[in-house]
């Protein structure tokens, strides 16, 4: 039935258009539509109701005054606040594996999933990834559920018909149609998204988040996640997370991983624009040029150098760091990716191991106890794993603050600050931090590196 509808669509599209309107003359034209496709796919899209309990400090008349707010901070009791929200999800297996957005379920304390036939399930998050804005749920006691198959999203083309299914504004399950408007969109959607999307003009509104974007065969090509809008409503520019990344995250969830493991590149780079291409003697601007490499990077092991241009990963075009990170994530941890390198007039393909950032030398984290000048302060030795996790510069060295603790945060310390010296004593090991702090007496002087700035913070204890 779906195939017949598609044939009718093609025939209708091939018919020359005229300025006149006319009455449909055949049963095929009368029944032209997506109804058979929706009947097949819609049962696999669910409504998700979440409850999040947060602790908020009771506001006082002095809450906006920096001095008095600090004075009354310890006197006001924190109160619980319950936040309810609504989103969508997609069933990917008959035993109740559901994918949704991180911003829908990632911080929820209670998750309830309702299917189109009004069955309700409690759900728990088994894997989440804030960077890609995806979360995988397991429905309790689910079996024999309808589900959608994943399509290879690298085969999706601009101009394909697409349907978005979700629960916009809580009005109930809704279907909107459109086309794929663009591929490999980066830096265009706001929020916590990973920055690599399919673009569609199918209407996506609040509540559609986590819903399905399907093709005319009923296969899942993306998870609806963001819109570009000034009003908050759909303007015909919506974004979906490609199905290939969804598939890798589901694979890791089924293997028991609780946090998505993304391969480490150990490099930084920039897109090759027209000026850069001309300076490098390239006929056309393409790819991403490597501007920095960590000595432990798997790309160094494979033979890459600063100044090389990466144009493809596993046969897919790469033109920016976001696309590079996406392609590595799709390749998956432990696999070997084929990376196309341009060096001068030479072009070759090198095998690169997809690996985690090494925890060498050991990070050796240390957390300060309650009877110290900065209780809760946590520091670690900088290594590739810490650089990757904290988003530090590739050339960062020394001891970094991973958690400033409550007192440290009030004093102006931030995660990612590199601790250079305490009261003039250079810090080389994490174990030296509590020692130097215990010797600080009534005055404390911290030398820090924050980004490209050196800071000197002084405290009276």
Report, as residue numbers or ranges, the catalytic residues: 103, 133, 209
* Residue 224: alpha-carbon gap to chain centroid: 13
Q: What residues contact 410, with CB distance under 8 A and at least 6 apart? A: 70
On the 0-12 / 13-18 / 19+ scale of CB atoms within 10 A, 203 is: buried
Q: What residues contact 201, with CB distance under 8 A and at least 6 apart? A: 178, 179, 181, 236, 237, 238
Q: Helices in 32-182 by DSSP H: which ranges?
A: 35-41, 66-72, 102-105
381/91 Cα distance (integer angstroms):
42
| Token pair recorded at residue 14 | 């091939």
Rounded to whole angstroms, what are the CA distances from 118 to 13, 42, 147, 172?
A: 38, 13, 16, 12
437 neighbors 372 (Cβ within 8 angstroms): yes
222 neighbors 198 (Cβ within 8 angstroms): yes
Pairing verdict, β 425-426 and 443-450 = unpaired
Burial 260-294 (b: 16+ CB within 10 A, else e): bbbbbbbbebebbeeeebeeeebeebbbbbbeebb
* Bridge partner list, 150: 220
Residue appearing with tokens 């599209």: 13
Binning the chain into helix, strand and coil, the percentages to the nearest 5 are 20, 35, 45
* Bridge partner list, 139: 123
| Token pair recorded at residue 139 | 């429905």
188 neighbors 198 (Cβ within 8 angstroms): no
Compute φ and ψ for 128, nearest 5 degrees: -140, 155
Segment (H or E) for 374: none
Closest among 403, 427, 406, 407 to 415, alpha carbons compared = 403
């Amino acid at each position: 039935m779906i195939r017949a509808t598609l044939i009718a669509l093609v025939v209708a599209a091939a018919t020359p258009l005229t300025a006149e309107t006319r009455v449909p003359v055949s049963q095929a034209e009368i029944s032209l539509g997506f109804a058979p496709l929706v009947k097949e796919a819609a049962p696999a899209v669910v409504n998700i109701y979440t409850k999040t309990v947060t602790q908020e400090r009771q506001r006082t008349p002095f809450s906006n005054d920096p001095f008095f707010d600090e004075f009354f901070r310890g006197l006001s009791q924190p109160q619980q606040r319950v936040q309810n929200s609504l989103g969508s999800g997609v069933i990917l297996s008959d035993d109740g594996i559901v994918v949704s957005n991180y911003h829908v379920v990632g911080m929820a304390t209670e998750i309830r999933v309702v299917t189109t036939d009004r069955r309700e399930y409690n759900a728990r998050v088994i894997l989440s990834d804030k960077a890609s804005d995806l979360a995988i749920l397991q429905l309790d006691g689910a079996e024999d559920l309808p589900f959608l198959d994943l399509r290879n999203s690298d085969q999706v083309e601009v101009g394909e018909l697409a349907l978005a299914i979700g629960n916009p504004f809580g009005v109930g399950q809704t279907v909107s149609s459109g086309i794929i408007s663009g591929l490999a969109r980066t830096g265009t959607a706001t929020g916590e998204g990973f920055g690599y999307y399919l673009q569609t003009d199918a209407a996506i509104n609040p509540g559609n988040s986590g819903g399905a974007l399907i093709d005319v065969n009923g296969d899942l090509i993306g998870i609806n996640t963001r819109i570009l809008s000034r009003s908050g409503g759909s303007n015909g520019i919506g974004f979906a997370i490609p199905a290939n990344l969804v598939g890798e995250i589901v694979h890791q969830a089924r293997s028991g991983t609780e946090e998505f493991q993304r391969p480490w590149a150990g490099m930084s780079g920039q897109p090759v624009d027209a000026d850069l291409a001309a300076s490098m003697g390239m006929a056309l601007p393409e790819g991403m040029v490597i501007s920095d490499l960590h000595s432990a990077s798997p790309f160094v092991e494979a033979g890459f150098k600063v100044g090389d241009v990466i144009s493809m990963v596993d046969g897919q075009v790469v033109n920016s760091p976001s696309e590079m990170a996406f392609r590595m994530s799709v390749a998956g941890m432990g696999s070997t990716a084929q990376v196309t390198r341009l060096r001068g007039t030479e072009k070759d393909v090198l095998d690169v191991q997809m690996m985690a950032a090494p925890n060498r030398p050991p990070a050796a984290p240390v957390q300060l106890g309650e009877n110290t000048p900065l209780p809760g302060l946590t520091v670690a030795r900088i290594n590739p794993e810490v650089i990757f996790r904290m988003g530090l510069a590739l050339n960062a060295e020394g001891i970094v603050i991973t958690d400033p603790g409550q007192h440290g945060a009030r004093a102006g310390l931030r995660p990612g600050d590199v601790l250079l010296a305490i009261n003039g004593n250079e810090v080389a090991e994490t174990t030296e931090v509590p020692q130097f702090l215990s010797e600080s007496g009534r005055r404390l002087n911290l030398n820090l590196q924050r980004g490209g700035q050196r800071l000197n913070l002084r405290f009276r204890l």
